[in-house]
């Protein structure tokens, strides 16, 4: 199974995270990368049936590099411990909300959807949309199908300590207006990742998050 080898390689990489080790095991890396590419290709194919805007995307456009980005590096390890992809209009680094998956052993695999830390202008538009249409926003974030796949709801770890500029701290929706990210995610055990229905579970989770993703993208749309 493709995913079994990916997890096995990433487990070894986590134990030996150095350029010297990677140079010796370059062939295994390329095999794991090819297996992950095939996995992402299957997900893209399934997702494109739900999202016509994603037609034409390739795995190469949505997969993240395994090399760490120095701007976000929190340790001296040169490589990430996961293989990830961000499937959204324009590819992994575009401004739009979209769908995410990262395989990482030890129960660290996650599936997510939304927009993580949008730029200031985009964030302002999202907040404005929530302020103007709170009923729609709350209906989407509390949708039973969304919460079935993402039981924790919106990630609340990225938030301002005070009210954003232009909003009153007594606003009834201030808890949500203070968010700096609008993202849902769910982790999976290695056993779940290796189940035959894992790909279908990922697509079902993304389908449940689709209305929320559309809300964010419509909010960020420049008229």
Instruction: Encode pLDDT of 190-221 as tens digits.
Output: 999 999 999 999 999 999 999 999 999 999 98
Strand partners, 8: none
- pLDDT at residue 74 in the model: 62
- pLDDT at residue 223 in the model: 61
Euclidean distance between CA atoms 207 and 113, whole angstroms: 10
pLDDT band at 43 (very low <50, low <70, confident <90, very high): very high
User: In a 3-state reduction of DSSP, which class is residue 178?
Assistant: coil
Identify the CA nearest to 19 among candidates 29, 7, 11: 29
**Number of independent structural domains in the chain:** 1
pTM greater than the 0.75 cutoff: yes
Which residues form the domain of 156? 2-220
- pLDDT at residue 153 in the model: 97
Whole-number average pLDDT of the chain: 95
- pLDDT at residue 76 in the model: 82
Identify the CA nearest to 222 among candidates 139, 155, 122: 122
The whole-number average pLDDT for the span 176-197 is 98
The pairs formed by 188-195 with CB atoms below 8 angstroms and a separation of 24 or more are 188/107, 188/109, 188/110, 188/111, 189/107, 189/109, 190/7, 190/105, 190/106, 190/107, 190/109, 192/109, 193/3, 193/7, 193/103, 193/109, 194/1, 194/3, 194/4, 194/7
């Amino acid at each position: 199974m493709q995913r079994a080898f990916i997890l096995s390689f990433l487990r070894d990489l986590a134990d030996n995270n150095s350029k010297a080790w990677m140079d010796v095991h370059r062939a295994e890396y390329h095999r794991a990368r090819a297996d992950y590419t095939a996995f992402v290709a299957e997900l893209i194919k399934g997702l494109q049936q739900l999202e016509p805007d994603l037609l034409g995307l390739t795995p190469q456009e949505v997969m993240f590099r395994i090399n760490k980005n120095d701007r976000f590096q929190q340790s001296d390890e040169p490589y990430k411990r996961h293989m990830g992809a961000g499937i959204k209009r324009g590819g992994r680094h575009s401004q739009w909300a979209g769908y995410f998956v990262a395989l990482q052993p030890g129960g660290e695999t996650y599936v997510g959807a939304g927009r993580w830390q949008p730029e200031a202008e985009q964030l302002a538009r999202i907040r404005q949309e929530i302020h103007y249409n709170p009923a729609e926003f709350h209906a989407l974030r509390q949708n039973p199908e969304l919460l079935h796949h993402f039981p924790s709801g919106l990630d609340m770890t990225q938030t301002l300590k005070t009210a954003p500029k232009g909003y009153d701290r007594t606003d009834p929706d201030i808890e949500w207006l203070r968010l700096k990210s609008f993202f849902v995610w769910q982790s999976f055990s290695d056993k779940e990742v290796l189940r035959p229905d894992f790909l279908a579970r990922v697509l079902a989770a993304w389908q449940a998050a689709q209305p929320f993703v559309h809300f964010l993208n419509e909010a960020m749309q420049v008229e």
